[in-house]
Amino acid sequence: MSNERPRLLLFAVRENRYALDLQDVAEVRCLPLTFPIPWAPSCIKGAMNFHGRVVAVLDLAMFLNVGAMAADGSILVLHRGLANLAVGVDSVGSIIPGEYVLEEDDSNDPIIEKLLVMADGEVKKLAVEILLKRVGEAMYR
């Protein structure tokens, strides 16, 4: 059995760097054309047609209350097993092996699973399940 740590996908929202497990992301693409969703909160940009699936697009910056995502931003479409959700971010960085993480610290913010210390600075690893739970709560009507 491999002991390799999962690879991470790095991205930026405003001045912060974030990460998701690469295995949670199905596709990365430019911000697509979206269509309005009735009753959706303002952090939801709309819905997109993703290979025939109806996928909601979340503006992560707005959801985190740090402004709005860049107009030329990208989206990270989560795997369908997780949710029908794409996370809109300002820019996408690189894919790095888990071994690049020098240290892991706990975070006080439940939406951040770990604070990852790397050679070039700190990255916040998102707790996907908590993010999805909170988005669901924001959608509740």
Partner 1 sequence: MDMSQYRELFISESREYLRAFNELVVALENDAEDREKIDSLFRTAHSIKGMAASMGYVEITDLAHKIEDFMDKLRKGLLLFEPVAADLLLEGADLLESMVGDVDAGVSGSREFYHFLQRLGDYAPPLKNGDTPTADAKVKEAGREKTAEERSEKGPESGKSIRVKTEVLDNLINITGELITNKHRLMTIGRETGGDRLEKALYELSLLLRGLHDEVLNVRLMPFSSIADRFTRIVRDLARTEGKEVTLEIVGKEIEVDRGILEELADPLLHIIRNAVDHGLETPPERQVAGKQPQGNIRLSALREKDCVVITIEDDGKGMVPSRLVATAIEKGIMTSEKARHLSTREALLLVCSPGFSTAREVTDVSGRGVGMDIVRSTIRTLGGTLAIDSAVGKGTSITLKLPLTIAIIDVLMVSSANLTFAVPVRAILRIMEIGRHEISTDGKNRVFFLNEEPIPLLSMSKILGIVALPPRDKIITLLVTEVRGRKVALVVDRIVGHQEVFVKPVGRPLDRMKGLAGGAIMGNGEVIFILDVANLL
137 touches partner 1 (CB under 8 A)? yes
Binding residue (CB under 8 A) for partner 1 from 47, 60, 89, 101:
47
Least distance between partner 1 and beta carbon 94 (Å): 28
49 touches partner 1 (CB under 8 A)? yes
Q: Which residues contact 7 (CB under 8 A, 6 or more apart)?
A: 21, 22, 23, 95, 96, 97, 98
Q: How many Cα atoms are found within 13 Å in the side-chain-facing hemisphere of 121?
A: 9
Q: Which stretch binds partner 1 (CB under 8 A): 20-28, 50-58, 61-69, 102-110?
A: 50-58
23 touches partner 1 (CB under 8 A)? no
Residue number with CB closer to partner 1 (46 or 98): 46
Cα–Cα distance for residue pair 139/40, rounded to 1 Å = 6
Which of the 8 DSSP states describes residue 38? T
Q: Which stretch binds partner 1 (CB under 8 A): 20-28, 35-43, 101-109, 120-128?
A: 35-43
Q: In 3-state terms, what secondary structure has residue 104?
A: strand
48 touches partner 1 (CB under 8 A)? yes
Sheet holding 53-59, edge to edge: 25-30, 74-78, 85-89, 53-59, 44-50
| Cβ pair 50, 25 in contact under 8 A | no
Cα–Cα distance for residue pair 131/15, rounded to 1 Å = 19
Q: Which stretch binds partner 1 (CB under 8 A): 16-24, 28-36, 66-74, 88-96?
A: 28-36
79 touches partner 1 (CB under 8 A)? no
Residues that bind partner 1 (CB under 8 A): 34-40, 46-49, 52-54, 56, 80, 82-85, 132, 135-137, 139-141
